[in-house]
Structure 1
């Protein structure tokens, strides 16, 4: 026993006793974890992360911005000093969002026991409000409205959007609108709305009868009517559209632009021509569908299983392929040659590489965007199901890989490579080629290269020195041109 105690590793040395405790370092990288990854601490590229999963996870970046999850998936905290903005949420108990807008106004919004208590304030006094739903109150910027006021909702509701104000009694049954739009309704029996010179719309026995006169300020006003489910008609210049037994049968044409469209919903649809939004559609569901316009083209086989899609956004092109719901890949290309890549075989594995050269991957990967965010799921519960995971950082040059419960770990940076497994041991290769080997809880250690031979025991192994504070090589500089 005295011999073993005399050969213990230094307090800051590398230790690998997973799943109990482990610490790994290479230049620019420090990772420690306990209890199979439930408790974690890490430093990389100037960012500091620590977690007590699934109760708390926190990332602090060099610019002092903070991302945090707590009581996942209920709690979330974000602090962005550049905006500046701070957001906190613990659903359904509360949320709070505070930011300084571009015009310098400080704006704060909050809710307690959502959806019952809402409130907010702003430094200019224009966004002050409070609401106790459904008893009384006012809310700002809610859904599509600038402001909504209610008393014993749905007994009374008033909402405002731009210069239009609507009042409702027993919402949505009785209502009237004033300001830029005028109208009234007794739902579902009759309703009408009008913006003089722009449109007139009305309905009878909603949703059965609809009549609309739109774009009255244009050279070619549009007129239309619909009697559900019998049919309807739209006219605009030489454009005509007719539907019979909506939505099953439809036909539209505009001779001046060679536009033709017809469908037997949902099985068949064919469309071509047009000038404002020139597109081509061919649909024979579930076997085949093809869509093309100036920005997007996609082909579907055995809808909704197989999709091949290309999108153009200015100087950016995105190519995607889906085999729903198990496989998905996409590649985003930029004019400057940078590329972003995503690939997923659900729920087996996922890979993401951004246009800066950073890479992250994991297996297993049960997340499904946008329902279940993969990154949040991984950082809070990944320790319990990821059998293999890792990342590569283009800024620090750090590459790391981890097996389930950290039963294998490897890290590389600045010419150093380290790998190890608990009890059995591992190896550390230095930039000059020297290889350090540690076996059997660090009790047998030796090195190759200049000065090779046995090294002192460092129980519980591997006992290599802390490298994370070692200086990284400087970033490459572009030489000045004469």
Structure 2
């Protein structure tokens, strides 16, 4: 099969026409139809025509161009990272320092990823990955999931399979290799040194490995032996199951006569079951001494003490505590909480499905939580709003129609289309927008300004408070002052200049950011 490796641009992969469309879309998605080569390019003088078009630098230092509200956007950071989108058709992210590029087309329909040595794409259920674009003989995959599997694995073995007819597929799902003929009639798979043969899966199966042996004639009989660890047997599953464990600290045996009785006797526990799995009592021994748990009946009432403190009256109320982790629920699955604490970090989550999601992260201190500092927060009140804060950077958006807390592809491709109001902060800098730029307000270390397109725009320098301007209808009528001189604007012309006129500061604007 050497020499048949598919490449982007060949009919076997995307096809010449499809690739041409991708190239054109990528070109349209970049500022001015140009490419971003890892450094911040000059985009010209800033301008603001409300939701029609705007070119500026945002409070994060990124040069930005937006056209027709949320439909077109392009940004370049001071570090050279870039983002551009023609929503909801295509978006592109590049990181020249890391050699990473990601393109998304009509997300989630198609995705292209590129790095220094690796390239992959997906169109619906058609997927391709080239693990080393510099080597024609390297590992690759071409899948039309779950029907066609073709590629070359890490051992440079070519494979081909058409499911469920016949073939061999390597490195698929959790298997090192899988081959089949008219599945489920016959299949052979390899995983972690073990070989499994299946005939009329799942009825007849046999697994052989260095330390593992397993045979199954389902549901009549099955036996699995793992040397030095365990032995398991079933007869007329699930009526009779039996197991023996040999690992130090957990060795022992267990059996279940379903649905009547079950028993476990091991180094670390004693357990009884009545009408399994509904009624169960477990008592810890050895390394788990002091632990006990009762299920009467499962899953409705569960009470545990010791290494795991648990009380579940499902689905009404429940709480659980173990090493570093706490969780609880109320009217499952409507209300739930979860908290994890490590040596120097704590994460808390609260969910009131499907309307409220809240997450808080704390860092520093001893890990007890009291002396930690909040490093980040996230809140989703679906479908009304979302809020995120990390260190001194925050973002507020409304409405927020996607129910998950945050999905980057949603933020890139579709969220701006329904975001009517947004507010971002970075330290003392604030940026607010309403209706995709119909109203804008910004305050940073250099200046304060706001605009109501096309009626009014106002600006005042923070460094030189006397430098200010007030324009109506983009300059049809207005006043400005800079360099100690005042100017009157009429019909988009400067008619008068003097050194004495003064423009009052707009109330509440231009002062310190609250």
TM-score by length of 1: 0.80
Partner Cα distance (2:316, 2:250) in 1: 38
From 215, 229, 248, the equivalent of 1:218 is 248
1:49 aligns with: 83
Q: Residue in 2 aligned with 1:384?
A: 417
Aligned counterpart, 1:358: 393
Higher mean alpha-carbon deviation, 204-213 vs 168-177, is at: 204-213
CA–CA separation in structure 2 for the residues paired with 1:165 and 1:340? 48
SS in 1 for 2:69: helix
Number of the residue aligned with 2:120: 87
Deviations 1:413-438 (A, max 9, x none): 55233332221122223232222222
Q: Displacement, 1:137?
A: 2.6
Shift of 1:156: 1.7
C-alpha displacement of 1:161:
1.4
Match of 1:368 in 2: 403
Q: Shift of residue 217 of structure 1?
A: 4.2
Q: Are 1:408 and 1:422, in contact at CA under 8 Å, matched by a contact in 2?
A: yes
Q: What's the CA shift string for 1:139-193, capped at 9, x where partnerless?
A: 2333322222222222221111112110111222211111231121122222111
Secondary structure (helix, strand or coil) at the match of 1:369 reads coil
Distance 1:315 1:220 in 2: 32
Question: 1:206 — aligned with what?
Answer: 237
* 1:232 aligned partner: 262
Which of 250, 269, 283 is matched with 2:302 structurally? 269
For residue 199 of structure 1, report the CA deviation from its aligned partner.
Answer: 1.4
Question: What CA distance in whole angstroms lies between the structure 2 residues aligned with 1:382 and 1:393?
Answer: 21
Q: Which has the higher contact order (CA 8 A, sep 6+)?
A: 1
* Aligned counterparts of 2:328 and 2:258: Cα–Cα separation in 1: 32
Q: 1 CA distance for matches of 2:232 and 2:464?
A: 80
Residue 423 of structure 1 is matched in structure 2 by 454
Query: Does residue 116 in structure 1 map to residue 147 in structure 2?
Result: yes
1:315-334 superposed matches below 5 A: 315-334=344-363
Distance 1:455 1:231 in 2: 94
1:22 to 27, 41, 54: 54
Partner SS state of residue 131, structure 2: strand
Shift of 1:456: 5.2
Partner Cα distance (2:51, 2:96) in 1: 30
Q: Distance in 2 between matches of 1:316 and 1:127?
A: 45
Contact 1:88 1:97 in 2 (8 A): no
Structure 2 partner of 1:259: 291
Distance verdict in 2 for CA 1:233–1:26, change over 3 Å = closer
Compared with structure 1, are the counterparts of its residues 401 and 77 closer, same or farther at alpha carbon in structure 2 (3 Å cutoff)? Answer: farther
Q: Do structure 1's residue 166 and structure 2's residue 196 form an aligned pair?
A: yes
Query: Residues 284 and 108 of structure 1: is their aligned pair in 2 closer, same or farther, counting only changes over 3 Å?
Result: same
What SS does structure 2 have at the residue aligned with 1:36?
coil
Q: 1:117 to 1:286 in 2, by over 3 A?
A: closer
Counterpart pick for 1:345 among 381, 388, 405: 381
Deviation at 1:235, TM superposition (A): 1.2
Contact residue 363 and residue 386 of structure 1 kept, 8 A:
yes
User: CA offset at residue 195 of structure 1?
Assistant: 1.8
Contact 1:98–1:106 (CA under 8 A) maintained in structure 2: no
1:228-275 per-residue CA deviation (whole Å, 9 max, x = no partner) reads 3333221103621122223321111135512211012232111112xx
TM-superposed CA distance for 1:55, in Å, is 1.0
1:191 match: 222
The Cα offsets for residues 179-217 of structure 1, whole Å up to 9 and x where unpaired, read as 231121122222111123321112223333221112x24
Change (3 A) 1:448 1:171: same
SS where residue 37 of structure 1 aligns? coil
- Secondary structure, counterpart of 2:216 in structure 1: strand
Please say if residues 16 and 421 of structure 1, whose CA atoms lie closer than 8 Å, have aligned partners that are also in contact.
no
1: CA distance between counterparts of 2:53 and 2:358?
36
The match for 2:342 among 313, 324, 347 is: 313
* SS of equivalent residue, structure 1 residue 379: helix
1:54–1:219 distance in 2 versus 1, CA, 3 Å: closer
| Inter-partner Cα distance in structure 2 for 1:331 and 1:279 | 24
Structure 2 residue aligned with 1:473: none
The DSSP-based 3-state class of the residue aligned with 2:414 is helix
- The structural deviation recorded for 1:458 is 9.0
Counterpart for residue 178 of structure 1: 208
Contact 1:26 1:416 survives alignment (8 Å): no
Aligned to 2:36: none
Contact 1:37 1:406 in 2 (8 A): no
Alignment check: 8 A CA contact 2:450 2:458 kept: yes
Partner of 2:273: 243
- TM-score of the superposition, structure 2-length normalised? 0.76
Q: Provide the rounded CA distance (Å) in 2 between the counterparts of 1:436 and 1:95.
A: 56
Quote the Cα distance in structure 2 between the aligned partners of 1:14 and 1:455: 22
Query: Counterparts of 1:390 and 1:97 in 2: how far apart (Å)?
Result: 41
Hey, what does 1:454 align to over in structure 2?
Answer: 487
